Amino acid sequence: MGQALGCVQVDQSTVAIRETFGKFDDVLDPGCHCLPWCLGSQIAGHLSLRVQQLDVRCETKTKDNVFVTVVASIQYRALAKKASDAFYKLSNTRGQIQSYVFDVIRASVPKLDLDSTFEQKNDIAKAVEEELEKAMSHYGFEIVQTLIVDIEPDEHVKRAMNEINAAARMRLAATEKAEAEKIMQIKRAEGEAESKYLSGLGIARQRQAIVDGLRDSVLAFSENVPGTSSKDVMDMVLVTQYFDTMKEIGASSKSNSVFIPHGPGAVRDIASQIRDGLLQANPPQV
């Protein structure tokens, strides 16, 4: 209807290309414009000035012969000042951008190994953006932003990388576990050594107390009972201890005991053996 009345409306963020008898005439900005069709004026087409996005998937090979798929996201828009170039010079803008992206990525990634490709993806994006900016500016387009949004290695490569990472973590965990067990064993050994040391001190003090008690008993008995010797006192003490021991064994219902001859003669023999052992350990001085 607008064409029939000689008027045309151009929407916001859009420009229209006006031709007169098939030749470029002017770029119409957003708004209402007079279009005398009877004088050969017509709208050849519209051009959007909005930012558009193109995702490009490019398969290539790294320096260490690993095939990867690089996904690049290109954000671009047409320039209002160069709308005629953007409209007339390119018939397939997206295809042209995709070709340049393929060219730059396949020239950059083969120079890097797989790990470097992940680390230097910003450098790859910058190289793609610079090449596109230089090429597309001649066609009236501006490259707003270039992003490398994904780098996908082959599935077998990803599985191998995960296994390597898992093995490294398991090795670290095994090292930490061994170190912890080592510390536990050291602490346990230190505790046992300290316990044995303290137990030895206790036994030594106990034996010292027994010796002191026996000595005091022998001295007191010899002084209070005339005619007795130290040997008689020791025999009596041994017999007393013997019967105390037998009493303790009989009082316990659950005891693992070794029985030895317990007649009076056996007690005398035990006393003689103990006395002889002490004399052999401490021979008399001549």
- For position 144, what pLDDT does the model report? 92
Rounded mean pLDDT, 98-104: 91
Which is more confidently placed, 106 or 285? 106
Distance, in Å, from the CA atom of 16 to the CA atom of 92, rounded to the nearest integer, reads: 18
Structure tokens, 33 = 């414009």
% of the chain with per-residue pLDDT over 90: 13
Tell me the β-bridge partners of 56. 72
| Count of C-beta atoms within a 10 Å radius of residue 117 | 25
Q: Which DSSP symbol is given to 40?
A: T
Range from 39-48, 50-59, 61-70, 207-216 that averages highest in pLDDT: 50-59
| Count of C-beta atoms within a 10 Å radius of residue 279 | 10
Q: Which three-class secondary structure state does DSSP give residue 36?
A: coil
Which is more confidently placed, 257 or 34? 34
Rounded mean pLDDT, 10-19: 88
Label residue 32 left, alpha or beta by phi (over 0 means left) and psi (-120 to 50 means alpha).
beta
Rounded mean pLDDT, 17-29: 86
Tens of pLDDT along 235-267?
666 777 777 777 777 676 666 655 565 555 565
Question: CA–CA distance from 218 to each of 28, 207, 214, 275 (Å)?
Answer: 132, 16, 6, 15
Q: Which three-class secondary structure state does DSSP give residue 192?
A: helix
Structure tokens, 167 = 């093995």
What confidence tier does 1 reach under pLDDT thresholds 50, 70, 90? very low
222 Cβ contact partners less than 8 Å away, ≥ 6 residues apart: 228, 229, 230, 233
Enumerate domains of the chain plus CATH numbers: 7-48 (no CATH), 52-153 (3.30.479.30), 229-280 (no CATH)
* Main-chain dihedrals φ then ψ at residue 51, nearest 5 degrees: -75, 125
pTM: 0.54
Tens of pLDDT along 163-204?
887 888 888 888 888 888 889 999 889 888 888 888 888 888
- For position 216, what pLDDT does the model report? 74
pLDDT at 36 over 90: no
